[in-house]
Amino acid sequence: MDYRAEPATLAHDGSWPGFLCACAEALNASEPVPRVVDADAPVGLFESRIAVARDDGRAAALWDRLTIKAGAPAMRIVLEAFLSERPDARADTASVLRRLRREGAAALRDLADPIVLSVDKAATRARREAERTTGIARFSELADGSWYAPLEPGCDVLPLVADHFAARFRPMRFALHDLRRGRAVLHEPGRPWLLTDGFSLKRVEPDEDAGPGAIDSAMLASDELRIRDLWRRYFAATAIEGRLNPGLQAAHIPKKYWKLLTEMRRG
């Protein structure tokens, strides 16, 4: 039975717990299994859509049950696939959970199954983006001694990178801001990090030309611009003239990421 042909759908609110609740509902349903969709997606002509309410307790219970069955590494892949935001990745992830519940982690190794392959590809994409983000996030020191890093990741990577930055910058008070999704990871020394929606940095006077993530210099720590300049100086000095290879450089770090990189921009 191809579940895609079945018009009954379960809609979630787009949040991770909401998604898990819709998955729980789908796991309880008998064949034909209803498809899990985002509430934002347009309703199909013959679709009968049921909205599933977000219930964090229920989501956590499902997560724990599946983790016991499939193990943490497999569930990490599930989370990564969800965060990839690739079209179909969420629906495919929801349907893979059924196999995970039955077969455990082995289900994810069956790359001959197109749904598993799709989940695997989506997860890989998010993982790569997260790895890249750990390298290219750039923090600025603000006048109050806290730190701010704007990001524009293709996937929703904040939950995947927060632990890394919290461990590395343990003594720092910082915000890791996803400009595209308006969310931020907030970290205070000695406390667990927090994910906040609708975050925005209060700017004194937004400068239209400065581009995304730019901060008014009045908000910056007094040394910030000087240190950025030092870094640019270092970066320029470090390329070997006899071996210049801009093609290779752009292959490693696509230009769309350049606008948030201190060394590639001015100011």
Residues in contact with another protein by the rule CB under 8 A: 131, 134-141, 147, 149, 165, 167-172, 223, 227-231, 233-235, 237-240, 242-249, 251-253, 261-263
Cα gap 50→177, rounded to integer Å:
33
Q: Which lies closer to another protein via its Cβ, residue 45 or residue 248?
A: 248
DSSP class of residue 220 equals B
Q: Tell me how far, at minimum, the Cβ of 246 lies from another protein, in Å.
A: 6
Q: Which lies closer to another protein via its Cβ, residue 12 or residue 132?
A: 132
3-class DSSP state for residue 10? Answer: strand
Q: Which lies closer to another protein via its Cβ, residue 204 or residue 244?
A: 244
Sheet of strand 48-51, all strands in order from the earlier edge strand to the far edge: 35-38, 8-12, 48-51
Q: Which lies closer to another protein via its Cβ, residue 57 or residue 190?
A: 190
Q: Which lies closer to another protein via its Cβ, residue 64 or residue 223?
A: 223
Q: Tell me how far, at minimum, the Cβ of 135 lies from another protein, in Å.
A: 5
Q: Tell me how far, at minimum, the Cβ of 213 lies from another protein, in Å.
A: 14
Tokens in use for 160? 């995947």
Cα gap 35→198, rounded to integer Å:
29
Q: Which lies closer to another protein via its Cβ, residue 100 or residue 130?
A: 130
Q: Tell me how far, at minimum, the Cβ of 234 lies from another protein, in Å.
A: 5
Nearest to 165, CA basis, from 182, 146, 149: 149
CA atoms within 13 A on the CB side of 3: 20
Cα gap 255→261, rounded to integer Å:
10
Cα gap 174→265, rounded to integer Å:
22
Q: Tell me how far, at minimum, the Cβ of 164 lies from another protein, in Å.
A: 8
Q: Tell me how far, at minimum, the Cβ of 50 lies from another protein, in Å.
A: 40
Return the axis-axis angle of helices 16-28 and 56-70, rounded to nearest 10°. Answer: 70
